[in-house]
Copies of this chain bind each other. A is one copy, B any other.
Amino acid sequence: MRGKADSDLVRRQNRRVVLEALRFDGPAPRVELGRKTGLSPATITSITMQLIQDGAVIELDDIASLSDGAKRGRPTVLLGLNPDAAFTVAVKISIGMLEFALADFAGIIRERVEVPIATYEMLPEIFSRRLVSETQRFIVSTRVDLNQIAQINVAAQGVADTRSGLIAWSPAFKERGVPVVGPLEEAFNIPCTLANDANMIAEGLIARRKLDFSGTTAAVFLGYGIGMGLVIDGAVYHGATGAGAEFGHMNHVPSGALCRCGRAGCLEAYASDYGILRSAKNLPDNTPPPPHAVDSQVMAELEAAARGGDKDAIAAFQKAGRAIGFGLARMIALLNPDRIVLAGAGTRALDLIEPSLRAAIDEGVVAELRNNLKIETLPVGKDMIIGGTIDAGMRRLDSEVYAIGPALPVEAKKELLA
């Protein structure tokens, strides 16, 4: 249970509530903020006055007049997040690619760059140096002053250890233990975070209210790999080291098929693109996975073949569905979630995998536990990784910096995030 409370806590909480209202619904006049937050007009005046002074919020009076027709009474004064309050750099590390984005405090992406890099064969420290230099290059290219940047947030595939700031294991690298947070913080002296890409997608879904996230939601991302974002009571569950919900590397069959991660029997070895392809080609289970993403064209052809009646292809998708289904059944037994959401490129083949997936769930879990369970699908673009990373960064700024206190120089804000 949390500790004692005082009036400081009250103000902090209410500042956060106001910021959240502005962030989610966009600019709004004070009256409306009052309605949305349940705070009295007097309090809204007081809080927004502070937030304006702190530079987090600005008045946008002009746009107000654009509203429909002429209205009686004193006109509203539109308030919005101040885009220039602080900037956030988001980085996405994936196989063969580095992606950078610069977002302002309103969460708008100002600049965006993709840098192809041969990640796989790189030694960890070589990569770390390259990451720093590319980040440097990107920041310079944006012409934003370094001390206007409040945070650098990195998303990576695989086991991203938020605590140590290392990528413990990732399909993007042959080697294990790639340092990310350390080198960046040292180079730029800006707070930096590392997180798993699936969790960042989940952050994005929450921030954009794409789903009802009350209770427990398990979002499963199917595609080149198999990821999961676990949302418990409206917050992404990260686990001890931030590597929670490694659904793809949950064991499916003891001593089973060879996985990219080097172990045998992972779910992913049966249900990811390469796993499906391997079964469809009737290659032995211990065939090493390719060190690169399967071309989506190849998967599309395989799907077409299955739909056209190709026995091997059909069997491969069924096998994938069964693996996912048993994985979900085990997850359900453990977590009894309110809903499961399927997303990602792999859902294109949902018609092929769903029957065996559902059959496996039915076989693998007590009926009572799946009674009220909802299984939905959700279209999720690739951009949700960068987008969600930015959303998570904004939430951090809101609650850990701007909800806290009085006007501070950006330097001090960095302190708070560190």
Which A residues fall within an 8 A CB radius of B? 1-7, 9-10, 13-14, 16-17, 20, 37-39, 159, 161, 168-169, 176, 215-216, 228, 230, 232, 234, 237-247, 249-251, 254-255, 261, 263-265, 322, 326, 329-331, 333-338, 360, 363-366, 368-369, 371-373, 399
Contacts and interface: CB of A to CB of B under 8 A. Distances in A.
B13 A2 contact: yes
A1 B20 contact: yes
How many subunits of this chain does the assembly comprise?
A: 2
A23 to B, nearest CB: 11
A38 B364 contact: no
A201 to B, nearest CB: 17
A368 B169 contact: yes
A334 B247 contact: yes
A241 B337 contact: no
Given A10-B10, A240-B338, A330-B330, A369 B5 contact: no
Given A241-B336, A246-B333, A336-B244, A365 B251 contact: yes
A239 B335 contact: yes
B9 A337 contact: no
A161 B368 contact: yes
Contacts of A371: 241
A329 B264 CA distance: 13
A331 B329 contact: no
Contact of A159 (B16, B234, B331, B366): B366
Given A5-B10, A5-B14, A16-B1, A265 B364 contact: yes
